[in-house]
């Protein structure tokens, strides 16, 4: 399920990575969950990678 407002703007590759981060946050073993600092750092890094990817594929619309 993808929010309608981001449909077509996020590549499946990056969407899978975002989902992986979210999945780690709800791990059944509390000690296995990332800290908020780790979550923020992971999301920032992933967002930067996605933006760089978007710049290198100008004119291309991602399909979800």
Q: What is the mean pLDDT of residues 47-63?
A: 72
In contact, 8 and 63? CB cutoff 8 Å = yes
pLDDT range class, residue 46, cuts 50, 70, 90: very high
Residues of the chain with pLDDT > 70: what percent? 86
- Global pTM exceeds 0.85: no
pLDDT range class, residue 45, cuts 50, 70, 90: very high
Neighbours of 7 (CB within 10 A): 11
Residue 64 pLDDT > 50, yes or no?
no
* CA 19 and chain centroid, separation: 6
Phi, psi of 24 (to 5 degrees): -60, -35
* Residue 52 in tokens: 């760089």
Reported as a single tens digit per residue, the pLDDT across 1-30 is: 677 887 777 888 888 999 999 999 999 999
* Residue 48 in tokens: 């930067």
């Amino acid at each position: 399920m993808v929010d309608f407002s981001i449909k077509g703007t996020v590549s499946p590759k990056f969407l899978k990575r975002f989902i992986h981060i979210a999945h780690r946050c709800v791990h059944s073993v509390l000690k296995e969950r990332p800290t908020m600092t780790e979550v923020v750092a992971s999301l920032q890094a992933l967002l930067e990678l996605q933006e760089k990817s978007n710049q290198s594929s100008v004119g291309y619309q991602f399909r979800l």
